[in-house]
Chains A and B, each alone.
Chain A
Amino acid sequence: MRPPIAYVVLALSLGLATSVLPGQQPEPLQIAQNNTSGRGPAFYVVRTPGGKREVAYGEVALRRRLSLALDHVSLADALAAVSQQTGIRFVYMKDEVHVDRLVSLRAQDIALAAALTEILFDAGVDVELLPDNQVALVKRLVKPNVDDARGKEDGNTVRGRVTDAATGVGLADVSVVVNDLAPDSESIARSKKPLRFHVRSSGSTVTGKDGRYQIGGITPGTYVVVAHRLSYAPKVDTITVRKDSGVVTVNFQLRPVAYSLNEVVTTATGQEERYKVGTDIAVIDADSVVKNAPILNVSDLLAARAPGVSVEASSGAVGSPSLIRIRGISSIYGTNDPILIVDGVRVNGSMSAIEVSNMASGGPTPSRLDDIDPNSIEKIEVLKGPSASALYGTDAANGVIVITTKRGTSGPARWAADYTHSWTSVPGNWPWLYQGYGTNPLSNVPGGCSNGSGCHQDSVVRYNPLNNPYTTTLASGLTDAYNLSVSGGAPTVQYYVNASREDQLGASKLSDYDAYLIRKANGGSIDSWVLRPNTNNNNRISSHLTMQPTPTLDLTFTSNFVQQLTLNGGDGINAALNGFTQIDTAYHPSSVLTQRNTSAIDRAFGALSGTWRPTGWLVFHASGGYDYTSRVDQSQSAATDCVTGCPGVTNGLGIGRSTETVTSVDVGGTATWPLHGAIGAKTSLGEQYTKSQTDAVGLAGSNLPQGSTTLNGAASTTASQADVVAATAGWYVQQEFSLNDRLYLSGGVREDAGSGFGSKLVAPAYPKASISWLLSQEPFWPVNTNVLSTVRLRAAYGQSGTQPGQFEAQQVYASQQAVLGGQLVPAYYMTGVGNPYLKPERTGEIEGGADIGVFHDRALIAVTFYQRRTSNELISAALAPSVGGGSYQENVGDVLNQGLEITLQRLLLVDTRNFGWDVNGGVAFNKNDLVSLGNHVLAGYNGTNSTTRFVPGYPLDGVWARPLLGYSDQNHDGIIERSEIVVGDSAVYVGATQPKYELNLSTNIAVLHEFHINMLFSYQHALTQSQGVFNCVNGPQSFGAQSEHASLAQQAQFQYYNVTFSCLPEVVSFLRFQSAALSWDVPGSVTRRLHLRSAQLMLMGRNLGLWTSYAGKDPEVNSNQGRDQISDNGIVPQTRDYSFRVIIGF
């Protein structure tokens, strides 16, 4: 017995109602009980004017809530009451709907669907949701809508109904195919060949809106009947038709698949179903990830969750930035950061150099991307490149990160709160460091042997302060995170507010031994920041207000406030991690633990956006955003907090202050119309403007009075100023065509003006085109195969750009002074020649691929190939002195990125009532190649001396080093000396800084619907890392002859530094157990007793394992701010965290 449609719809809304009002008696329940005879209306949705109607379930419109008190009023009045509360306009033919009949309904806060079900009970009409907030009441069709002509022919007929297995709703647009599988007797008789399996379609059709179908003209035989629809697992049934069968009924219940191509994704022109978009857009369900994994910031959300989106951690210190790189790196001088869009407006998301270095000291600070509260995010979409981001224009060449924040739903306030406590530590053992001791033959003085001194080594000591609890600078860190949210509202206004706080204590400290020494020297007091030099504190509030002032207008206002303070004790941590061979040396950690670097952020950003649908086929949108960041960085050196008077340290203070603003405006409109028959058309037009501005000043004072923490009284001060401004404005037009709702073609163009473009440049235009073809929806698709249940082919091409640097196109003069007639007068010195022909870097990307649902869509595999070519590469070319010297930007060179991305979307391994297990994964290959660079001399780049280089034929930032050709212990003393290694004379290519491929794998296990286990692994293959920590600069090699305790290979590496004065980079790979989480959904019986809506308890771990060929501490971390820093030297490795979290809803 199938439940009637209306019942199902109501049940959905009931679920919502009961969860909103725990313990209250919901009236809709009675309606549902009354409505078991199937006489209520069916609900449909018509998404595009004149489009097909689909069965509506879970539509937001149907969940709008209202309260009614109708006692024997006319249906017309009842509808008017509903209309008033929901903003819906009802349309109907008077001869089809008897509006005079009297209805009664008293209900508090019920869903629209429930209300309509009640007042339209037995009215003989169905409900159609139309696009422009209209609802049509249409006469219910008595007969199934059968559109197969063959049904009228002679022969047997196959018919039936296809329903949603979960809800019982009839499914429209299901392809039903009757395949003749077994050969008939005639063909056997004709053929002498062995029996051959062949497939021949005997008829096919598509179900009507109630899920019914009928196929006629079926000759006797055995058939396989297949029903399949996008986002549902196909079902197969085998039937035998005899001559006198007449009508054979085959009903199907289709089960929705986990992954849906119906999912809505964000594009420059608005929201669109994924299957209509020709590119692979990565969607991260942030809400669910944050709830099920240890997430502290947006970078954590992105890490190892979308192939091609690479997150490069810079350090294990709290408040450290990460670089996000999508599909490799393309720019030499320009930024490689993707742009960030939050709720439709552009905000500052930069993570490179200027944003992540402390303005006062150069140490790292958090990136602007990580300012955003992960708790406030509903979902993150990543447009990976120009093929998807072309309409975003200049700046979008490196991809677009689109963040949608959570929005409220109407109803009484729903509160949610969570608390997380984490313990962090740095895992792993630390290698021994060796120090040779002996006698200096010249001075006859005993002591540590230094290299090249001819020292007669007589003993070796080994030590590592990090292995001694008394001297280690590593400690347990703690994180406390609090989050509180509330959501609710009326039918026309909904709100969501989220507030969170995070207090993080990094895993580094002043060693106990040093603390003892300092206390002894300074009479007992040590500043707390010296004891624990790494902390990060965040306070964030985000709010989202949505309004529907009129049925055709939606308004959204979002705002975010971020307050952040990061302390990074700079030198101290770094020095300690560089390693020391003795407990007391001149390089004692505490003697350099003197720098207090802080970065304070106060940021507010918000967006106001509106959508207006004047008619059903026309939508306008407009949004404006403003992002304001005030940043104060300080770096303070204090000469008091050291053991031995801090040699070389004077009291100094540096202050960097900046304000960064981003202003953006985005307006546009989309018109949709049926062009002809099965062809639909959609035209979009829009205009965007973005301006970002940074005004920074730096002040530094030296020789401050003892104890002073202000610049007042500094012996000397210096000041500097840096203002950066960039703006782009552009417009786009896009035309889309659809054919039979299976084939989607789209073409568009964006034209831009940019503040960095040359005056001689015609505003550049970026074209785009894409195609998406739902191949498996075509009637000819052999759907009887279980292996390929859904196939979509897609291809897209697009271009985007990177804007030249500020004023590089213009001739600029520095306004300074000159002496004229003994007086200082204003003088304009030409400092930039100006290239009036300067163009943006242009990145063209072609991508193609397929989304394939396999095994009844138990898993969806997306395969995407891309080729991205960046031409007109902006380089800063050194100028000949004869034109005044200096440098200027030119468009020279090409960079090619090619890659393959494979996503495995939720492979359902086990799916039983009490146990579910799925696997998700992704792999991304990328090959980066600097194709050409002209014959220019790059300014400020010392090609032959750099570790990372720009060499045509090699990857951007390829790593070069003199090779260690070999070593041998020629004198058999067990010690590799400097003379016993062979190092090549000139540097050779070692490897790329980016991995050759990345692989990520996550798995979810659900037990008894209450327990969930989530695990995430990531693997990176062949990236280059340089050991700075122990085996190079400050390892024992700098102290001379080596120990027999260290392997010869290790010693050879030590000696390599003595020859080359640089560390030997290695190509490494690693597998990291990123995270694991166990969560328990507290059963309703318990939560009800506690008067809670829901409760969840979680245990989580991060960075639980690392398997690598790399001998250093962490193959992944390096201070990303400079391109050539591929070393973990002085950087805290990524920490291992264990967390406990409790989440409650009330």
Chain B
Amino acid sequence: MASKLFARRAAVCVTIVAAAGAGGLSGCALKPLVDVKPPSDTVISGNINNVTQAVAVYAAAMRLFAAAYGGSVSHDIGSGIGYITETGLLTDEFTATYGNYPLDSRTADTGSGSYGTYDALQSTRTQAHLATSALTKFGKASPPSDVAESYMMEAYTELMLAEYICSGIPLSTVSFGGGITYSAGLTTTQVLNAAMAHFDTASTYAGTASVQTAIAIGKGRTWLDLDEYDSAAGAVINVAPSDAYLVQYGTQFGFQNGIWVEFGSGNLTGTATVSNVEGENGLNFVSARDPRVPTMNLGATNGYAAYSSASSPIVLASGIEGQLIQAEAALSHGTPTWLDILNALRTNGTFTTAPDASNPSVTDTTYNAGSGGVAGLPPLVDPGTLDARVDLLFRERAFWMYATGHREGDLRRLVRQYQRPEQTVYPIGPYILPVPVNGAPTTYGSQVVGIPDAREQQTNGLYHGCNNLGA
């Protein structure tokens, strides 16, 4: 009797356990119960599963790219100044008027990624990588150009890192959906190769004309950095001088053209000024009165007048750069066409003459615009020596591509590829600010590259600092 009773009870117990188990008492079955809806302003990667959402990830990459490239200190995402401003300060393009003196005076040579560009480029690269993942996964129906553009942005951020940051750049990755893969510091060449690979991938998608321009020019620029002039010329051969890829900005706070904000156009109290023969070696960007570098007098400082509003786009890559690349390739072979290419950008060769209104004995010559689209540039004359030709070519690059983040790469190439000593290309000597500031450095230092944020070394166990602080 007792054993029977016990047997019955035991049977019921087993039934309870079994029923409860069938009812979902396993760890896996519990998970749906705890799937919580994220707040309205937050999206979980697991919930990104359609074209619209994938495009939103791409849109964020576009925004981050714009900020990292031409943003200002006041942009909302990321922090610090954009690539154009930061490299412009380090080189002879800009001079600081407020803060950023160590960078401007080339003395910020210890772990100074905190200016923001390193971080901004890296987070843009990460977001672009996530965008390529999301688009290739869910964005089949979106324009293939978005995918091409995302890869292109990944490539450009790598290219910019290579041109600015010291050798030893980690290209860590975050997978879409989670997971981190840390990377050791790669050499400049390795990073350029990575950029090239991303440009190659980008070119396998049908981009719009402007995206194709950016890809071709980006490739050419990368080949130049790799000291491969013929490949560079080959990459850009199909780009017409009038082609361009423009980075978009908005009038809304946080989406603005940082150069317009920084250089006085926006608020007349910008954080930098256009330099004029900065630190002995600098070019005369102001006094040249060159229409390619329009400036405006803001009293003690010179504003950069190229942009009319906060939403003015900034050129990332253009056919002009393509022509300059071809000219450089020609020069590397000693082919005389290098000068013809440069001059074709400046003028179509025709001109008008008229007496000077204030001095009738002088005849003013006005050249008609060349393929570069800027009027009034007389043709150049071959200076004769190789060094002078190189100087002329790089001066043309500096003026054509002023404030588009090319100068730092060019100065480093002059050192690396044209064997110019650093002190002959970077600003040197006494550091003089247009508006004197107490406590500012008094002499230019020797910094020629950007240095990753100190946090890189602290939290990325594979990273062990710069390989080389030189150009």
Asked if A829 is at the interface (CB within 8 A of a chain B CB), the reply is yes
Given A691-B36, A818-B60, A812 and B27 contact (CB-CB distance below 8 Å): no
Cβ of B145 to closest chain A Cβ, rounded Å = 12
Asked, given contacts A811-B176, A885-B123, whether A827 binds B63 with beta carbons under 8 Å apart, the answer is: yes
Determine the chain A residues whose CB is within 8 A of the CB of B17 once the complex forms: 683, 685, 733
Query: Could you tell me the distance between the alpha carbons of A284 and B142 in the complex, rounded to whole angstroms?
Result: 65
Query: Does B126 lie within 8 Å of A729, measured CB to CB?
Result: no
Q: List, in ascending order, chain A residues with CB within 8 A of B46's CB.
A: 759, 810
CB atoms of B255 and A819 under 8 A apart: yes
In Å, the complex CA distance between A162 and B123 comes to 82
For chain A, the count of residues having a C-beta within 8 Å of the partner chain is 78
Closest chain B residue, CB of each to CB of A937:
B458
Stretch at the interface among B233-241, B245-253, B329-337, B361-369: B245-253
Among A618, A811, A822, A827, contact of B178 (Cβ-Cβ < 8 Å): A811
B44 nearest CB across to chain A (Å): 5
**Binding site secondary structure of chain A:** strand
Specify which of A727, A878, A935 is in contact with B33 (CB 8 Å cutoff): A727
The answer to whether A819 touches B174, judged by C-beta atoms less than 8 angstroms apart, is no
A618 to B10, CA, bound (A): 11
Proximity string of chain A (495-514) to chain B, C-beta cutoff 8 Å, 1 when within and 0 when not: 00000000000000000000
**Contact call A729/B34, Cβ cutoff below 8 A:** yes
Q: Are B122 and A882 in contact (CB under 8 A)?
A: yes
B453 to chain A, nearest CB (A): 5
Check A881 against B62 for contact (C-beta < 8 Å). no
Report yes or no: B459 in contact with A877, Cβ–Cβ below 8 A.
Answer: yes
Partner of B118, one of A723, A755, A758, A881: A881
Contact B33 A753 (CB under 8 A): yes
| Residue in chain A with minimal CB distance to B169 | A882
Q: Collect the chain A residues with CB atoms within 8 Å of residue B249's CB.
A: 819
> Which residues of the other chain, B, contact A811 by a CB distance below 8 angstroms?
44-45, 174, 176-178
Option from A673, A733, A810 in Cβ contact (under 8 Å) with B45: A810
Bound: A693/B46 CA distance, A: 21
Q: Which residues of chain A from 770 to 827 have a CB within 8 Å of any chain B CB?
A: 806-807, 809-822, 824-827
Q: In the assembled complex, which residues on chain A have CB atoms less than 8 Å from the CB atom of B25?
A: 685, 687, 731
Does B455 make an interface contact (CB < 8 A)? yes
The segment from A379-387, A396-404, A833-841, A857-865 found at the interface with B is A833-841
Q: How far is the CA of A752 from the CA of B33 in the complex (A)?
A: 11
Q: Give the nearest-CB partner of A823 in chain B.
A: B250
CB distance from A372 to the nearest CB of B (A): 26
A149 within 8 Å of B (CB atoms): no
Contact B41 A882 (CB under 8 A): no
Measured CA separation A731–B23 after assembly (Å): 11
- The stretch that binds A, out of B179-187, B223-231, B314-322, B397-405, is B179-187
Contact of A763 with B180 at beta-carbon distance under 8 Å, contacts A754-B34, A829-B127 already known: no
For the complex formed, measure the closest distance between the CB of A799 and the CB atoms of chain B, giving whole angstroms: 15
**What's the least CB distance linking B179 to chain A, in Å?**
6
Q: Which of A959-1018 contact B (CB under 8 A)?
A: none
Q: Is the CB of A884 within 8 A of B123?
A: yes
**Bound CA–CA A815/B460 (angstroms):** 28
> Does A827 lie within 8 Å of B44, measured CB to CB?
no
Q: Does A245 contact B (CB under 8 A)?
A: no
A752 and B118 alpha carbons, distance in the complex (Å): 42
Q: How far is the CA of A506 from the CA of B144 in the complex (A)?
A: 68
CB–CB B48/A881 < 8 A: no
Report the minimal beta-carbon distance from A944 to chain B, rounded to whole angstroms: 13
Q: A687-B20, A833-B178, A883-B182 are in contact. Are A813 and B30 (CB under 8 A)?
A: no
CB–CB A880/B250 < 8 A: no
Residues of B within 8 A of A723 (CB): 38-42
* B37 close to A (CB within 8 Å): yes
Query: Are B57 and A813 interface neighbours, CB within 8 A?
Result: yes
Find out whether the CB atom of A725 lies under 8 angstroms from the CB atom of B36. Answer: yes
CB contact under 8 A between A881 and B174, given known A726-B36, A819-B250: no
Q: Residues of B contacting A809 with CB < 8 Å? A: 178
Whether A751 pairs with B27 at a CB distance below 8 angstroms is yes
Q: Is A436 an interface residue (CB 8 A)?
A: no
Residue B28, interface by CB 8 Å: yes
Interface residue? A879 (CB, 8 A): yes
Contact A814–B13 (Cβ < 8 Å): no
Taking a contact as CB atoms under 8 Å apart, the answer to whether B250 and A824 are in contact is: yes
- Chain B stretch 1-38: residues in CB contact (< 8 A) with chain A: 2, 6, 9-10, 12-13, 16-17, 20, 23, 25-28, 30-31, 33-38
How large, as a class, is the contact surface on chain B?
A: 35 or more
Q: With A807-B38, A819-B249, A820-B248 known to touch, is A880 a contact of B182 (CB < 8 Å)?
A: yes
Give the CA-CA distance A821 to B63 in the complex, in Å: 11
Name, among A685, A695, A722, A935, the residue most crowded by chain B CB atoms within 10 Å (CB to CB): A685
Contact of A818 with B9 in the complex, beta carbons under 8 Å: no
Q: Establish whether residues B37 and A671, one from each chain, have CB atoms under 8 Å apart when the complex forms.
A: no
Q: Give, as a whole number of angstroms, the nearest-CB distance from B178 to chain A.
A: 3
Q: Which residues of A lie under 8 Å from residue B44 when comparing CB positions?
A: 807, 810-813
Say yes or no: is B463 at the interface (Cβ < 8 Å to chain A).
yes
B178-213 vs A, Cβ < 8 Å mask (1 yes, 0 no): 111011000000000000000000000000000000
Determine whether the beta carbon of A814 is less than 8 Å from that of B45. no
Whether A881 touches B452, Cβ cut-off 8 Å, given contacts A725-B36, A811-B176, A830-B127, is: yes
Interface status of B113 (Cβ within 8 A of chain A):
yes
Shortest CB distance A766–B (Å): 12
Is A883 in contact with B34, judged by CB distance below 8 angstroms?
Answer: no
Question: Which residues of the other chain, B, contact A829 by a CB distance below 8 angstroms?
Answer: 60, 63-64, 77, 127
B53 touches A (CB below 8 Å): yes
B43: CB under 8 A from chain A? yes
- Contact at A671–B34, with CB atoms within 8 Å? no
Residues of B with C-beta under 8 A to A879 = 180, 455, 459
In the assembled complex, B456 has its CB within 8 A of some CB on chain A: yes
In Å, the complex CA distance between A881 and B57 comes to: 19
**B311 interface contact, C-beta 8 A:** yes
Instruction: Check A671 against B12 for contact (C-beta < 8 Å).
Output: yes
Asked whether B70 is an interface residue with its Cβ less than 8 Å from the other chain, the reply is no
Within 8 A of B (CB), among A42-85: 50
Minimum distance in angstroms from A93 CB to a CB of chain B: 15
> Would A753 and B62 be within 8 Å (CB), given that A836-B177, A884-B126, A936-B459 are in contact?
no
B88 close to A (CB within 8 Å):
no
B39 partner, pick from A725, A733, A824, A830, beta carbons under 8 A: A725
Shortest beta-carbon distance from B353 to chain A in Å: 42
Tell which of A683, A687, A815, A824 has the most Cβ of chain B within 10 Å. A815
Contacting pair A673 B250 (CB below 8 A): no
The docked-state distance in angstroms from the alpha carbon of A442 to that of B179 is: 64
Please indicate the chain A residues that have their CB under 8 angstroms from the CB of B123 in the complex: 881, 884-885
Closest residue of chain A to B52 (Cβ to Cβ) is A826
Q: How far is the CB of A833 from chain B (nearest CB, A)?
A: 5
Q: Is the CB of A669 within 8 A of B16?
A: yes
What residues of A have a CB within 8 angstroms of the CB of B35 in the complex? 727, 755
Closest Cβ of chain A to B250, distance in Å, is: 4
Asked whether A822 and B311 contact (CB < 8 A) given A685-B16, A883-B180, the answer is yes
B412 CB → nearest A CB, Å: 21
Which residue of chain B lies nearest to A936 when distances are taken between CB atoms in the complex? B459
The smallest C-beta distance from A692 to any residue of chain B, in angstroms, reads 10
Q: Is the CB of A821 within 8 A of B248?
A: yes
B60 with A617: CB separation less than 8 A: no
Closest 5 CB pairs of A and B: A763-B27, A723-B39, A834-B178, A818-B63, A819-B250
Some 27 contacts from A to B, beta carbons below 8 A apart, are A669-B16, A685-B20, A687-B23, A687-B25, A693-B36, A731-B20, A733-B17, A751-B30, A753-B27, A758-B178, A810-B44, A810-B46, A811-B45, A811-B176, A813-B42, A813-B44, A813-B57, A816-B41, A817-B63, A822-B248, A824-B250, A828-B57, A830-B57, A834-B45, A880-B455, A881-B113, A881-B453
Q: Which residues of B contact A (CB under 8 A)?
A: 2, 6, 9-10, 12-13, 16-17, 20, 23, 25-28, 30-31, 33-46, 48, 52-53, 56-57, 59-60, 62-64, 66, 77, 113, 118-119, 122-123, 126-127, 130, 169-174, 176-180, 182-183, 248-250, 252, 255, 311, 452-453, 455-456, 458-461, 463
